[in-house]
């Protein structure tokens, strides 16, 4: 499993928040889905499509000390925080840069944190373990730092967390069944994403139909 692409498990869209003791609820971070693979001092970052992007994020050289296991695969979201909220455009900017000098500058202006929410592997695969067992492993495994940190979650109280994310202008929440297994490459109803939608009144000035639709 180590250092080979793994397609992450994906949530299904859901309209309304809910409370349920069989679920936990996490903030929905707005960034890049990243799977971190570690073996000794080597750490590699894989995107959800299997691309290796480690060279875009030199911060990862320090990530090995935050993961208390010789080997590990963590499912994360790479985010850039601005005014207390994750901003997709900022991490997208980091991911586009290839020039070494500009990357070094961007590490200061757009620092990236990898928020870990699942552990798939240490000395063996954990994907067939219930989510809450994996969560316990995760919090034992990850020493919180500015580079890698475990995500927060609320036990059973989705409505309260959804309201908090609305107040803070975050993207929304993800609900996960406590007994859910990790099934790579699937979109499952055991994980549900509930977004904070924004509406505006807009005037359409023009659109095209060929070669494809676009405003």
The per-residue pLDDT for 99 is: 94
The confidence band for 203, taking pLDDT boundaries of 50, 70 and 90, is confident
Average pLDDT of the chain is: 95
The confidence band for 206, taking pLDDT boundaries of 50, 70 and 90, is confident
Q: Tell me the Cα Rg of the chain.
A: 18
Output the CA–CA distances (angstroms, integers) from residue 48 to 24, 35, 75, in the order listed: 23, 7, 10
The per-residue pLDDT for 73 is: 98
The per-residue pLDDT for 81 is: 95
The per-residue pLDDT for 214 is: 76
Q: Determine which one of 28, 38, 162, 176 is catalytic.
A: 28
Across the range 83-100, mean pLDDT stands at 94
Q: Structural domains in the chain?
A: 10-195 (3.30.470.30)
The per-residue pLDDT for 26 is: 98
Say whether pLDDT at 202 is over 90. Answer: no
The confidence band for 198, taking pLDDT boundaries of 50, 70 and 90, is confident
The confidence band for 211, taking pLDDT boundaries of 50, 70 and 90, is confident
9-68: per-residue pLDDT in tens?
999 999 999 999 999 999 999 999 999 999 999 999 999 999 999 999 999 999 999 999
193 is catalytic: no
The per-residue pLDDT for 130 is: 98
The per-residue pLDDT for 55 is: 95
List strand residue ranges (DSSP E) for the chain, in order.
10-13, 19-27, 32-39, 42-47, 71-79, 81-82, 85-86, 113-121, 148-150, 154-157, 172-177, 187-195
């Amino acid at each position: 499993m180590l250092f080979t692409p793994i397609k992450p498990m994906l949530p299904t869209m859901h309209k309304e928040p809910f409370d349920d003791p069989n679920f936990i609820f996490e903030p929905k971070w707005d960034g890049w889905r990243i799977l971190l693979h570690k073996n000794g001092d080597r750490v590699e970052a894989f995107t959800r499509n299997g691309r290796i992007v480690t060279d875009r994020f030199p911060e990862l050289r320090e990530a090995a000390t935050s993961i208390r296991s010789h080997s590990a695969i963590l499912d994360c979201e790479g985010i850039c925080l601005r005014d207390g909220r994750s901003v997709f455009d900022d991490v997208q900017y980091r991911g586009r840069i290839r020039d070494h000098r500009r990357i070094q500058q961007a590490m200061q202006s757009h620092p990236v944190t990898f928020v870990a929410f699942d552990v798939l592997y240490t000395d063996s695969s954990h994907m067939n373990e219930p989510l809450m067992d994996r969560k316990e492993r995760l919090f034992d495994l990850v020493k919180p730092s500015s580079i890698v940190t475990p995500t927060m979650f609320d036990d059973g109280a989705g409505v309260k967390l959804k309201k908090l994310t609305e107040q803070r202008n975050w993207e929304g929440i993800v609900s996960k069944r406590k007994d859910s297994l990790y099934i790579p490459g699937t979109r499952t109803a055991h994980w549900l994403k509930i977004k904070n939608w924004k509406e505006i009144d807009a005037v359409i000035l023009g659109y095209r139909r060929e070669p494809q639709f676009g405003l």
